Structure 1
Amino acid sequence: MNIVIYSKESLEIIARPIITTLKEFKENPTRFYPDWDSEKYIWSETEYQNPVLDNGNLREATKEELYKAGKYTLNSNELIENGKIKTVELSEFEYIEDNQIKYKKEEKIEKLKQELYELRIEREKKPFEFEVKGTKYLQGNRTIDQSNITKILFSLVLKFILGLMGKISKGQKLDFAQVMTDLMATEYSNWKFYTEDGTEKYVNVSVQKFIEMSEIMRKHTTASMVAETTLSHSLENKTVEELKTFNAEIEYNKLFESEMKQS
């Protein structure tokens, strides 16, 4: 078996002599290590990486002792508290600097702003329920949906006006109220809706219904933009604790619904 001999002064390893038994070594250490001097050396069965002589006994140095000696670097989640190295659980955006827990406030704000932006985009595109002739369908609110409705309305109105001009050229008298009623009742064939189960349904939709649909789209888009902008600006004035507990989805949906009720 081996033992390890250390210098009492430097605590460096001097030798690793092979011995028969600990008893025989204790009785006659020079038999196994001729230079043995109990004033200079100390022995142990254990080889320590960072030995410390504590009240005549060898032991491994603590992290605190290594830190003081410049042999240990604190981990990103460690700090010194009452002379002891303490491991702390850091939340997202927390970090330790100058032995204090700090918070990356600007990075948190930017992340929340990105979440609010994504919520706005998702909300603007989210289908809404729309009723035509007693049946409820789902209507998307994508840019292409808004663009198609605008084109269809323009086409229907133009076609209707051309028809009126033909009647006027023939000398027919027109009743304005009836003209407006007829215009609003003018239909576009096979507008595509969806049902709850994702099935496509093609329905004839009147000018009146297209206008109502456009107004809902406008309200959704406006409310979603107001919600995002208002909440994004409010983040700058929030404390760190308020930012930690800020739930973008809950706050966004709450403000969106409020804006929809007011519009």
Structure 2
Amino acid sequence: MVINIYNKNSLEIVAKPYITDVEAFKSNPTEFYPDWNGQSMLYSLNEVVHPKLVDGEIVEKTRLELVKEGIETLHSNELLKGDEIIAVDLKPYEYIENNTVKYKRDDRIEELLKELKNIQVEYSEAEFVFQEKYKQKNRELDQNNLSKLITMFIVINKQPLIKGWKFKDLNDRDTYTDLTAQDAMLLAQSMEVQTKKSMHVETTLHQRIMAMTDEELKVINLRAEFVKLWESIQI
């Protein structure tokens, strides 16, 4: 077997002689290693990567010691607390810097504003019931089409009807209906109101988000807040 000879001061390995057994080495170390000096050397059966002396024995340094000496680094979810390495359950957008848990506030706000815009578009374009019997989507395409038809047939050509406007009935079947000028204007108004309402809710929540504390940003249920505000507003 091999035994590791260490310099007592530097704790570096200076030799690795072969021995028959440990007791034989203890009895006569110079038989196996002629340069042995009991005053300046120590031995160990184990090759210790980061050695230290504890009660005259060579042992491996603890990870805490290696971290404090800069030999090892903390994991991304760890910090030092006194003489302990603490693993932190980091929540989304949390990180550790300079041994302190911090929050990526700007990234969280950016995510919330993207989510807010998606919800706003969803509510703006959502299907609504017109005259208690038709379903109408409120996409930009639908608004533009209706606006063009109102301009062409009613404003310019003074026609009394827009013929064949496509709705869904309450059973989701396609149905084509002639719109009077009054109906067309009322439908356009309903579309505009829904769009404005969604934009008003978005603007209000945008302002709230920008003023929130980090803790509020962590826990906000944006969809629930949007729905609550949507249901409370009358335009």
Residue of structure 2 equivalent to 1:13: 13
Task: Determine if the alignment matches structure 1 residue 204 to structure 2 residue 177.
Answer: yes
SS state at 1:71 partner: coil
Tell me, in whole angstroms, the C-alpha distance in 2 between the residues paired with 1:110 and 1:90: 19
CA contact (8 A) 1:152 1:188 kept: no
- Equivalent position amino acid for 1:205 in 2: D
1:32 & 1:193 partners in 2: Cα distance? 99
Q: TM-score, normalised by structure 2?
A: 0.87
Taking a change above 3 Å as real, the CA distance of residues 219 and 7 of structure 1, as seen in their structure-2 partners, is: same
Map 1:105-124; keep pairs closer than 5 Å.
Answer: 105-124=105-124
Is the 8 Å Cα contact of residues 192 and 200 (structure 1) preserved in structure 2? no
Residue in structure 2 matching 1:188, options 146, 163, 170: 163
Q: 1:155 aligns with which of 152, 160, 171?
A: 152
Amino acid at match of 1:101: V
Give the AA of the match of 2:26: K
Determine which of 208, 213, 219 is the counterpart of 1:234: 208
Picking from 237, 246, 256, the partner of 2:220 is 246
Rg bigger for which structure?
A: 1
Provide, for residues 173-224 of structure 1, a one-character-per-residue CA deviation record: whole Å limited to 9, x for no partner: xxxxxxxxxx4xx3522x3334688x66131132344333322211221111
TM-score, structure 1 normalization? 0.79
Corresponding residue for residue 188 of structure 2: 214
The count of residues paired between Structure 1 and Structure 2 equals 234
Unaligned runs of 5+ in 1: 163-182
Could you say what the CA RMSD is over the residues aligned between the two structures, in angstroms? 2.4
| Percent of aligned pairs sharing the same letter | 38
- 1:126 is matched by which residue type in structure 2? A
Q: In the aligned structure 2, how far is the partner of 1:10 from the partner of 1:228?
A: 67
Correspondence for 2:56:
56
Quote the Cα distance in structure 2 between the aligned partners of 1:194 and 1:99: 60
Describe how 1:83-94 pairs up with structure 2 within 5 A.
83-94=83-94
Which residue number in structure 1 is paired with residue 82 of structure 2?
82
- List gaps (5 residues or longer) in structure 2: none
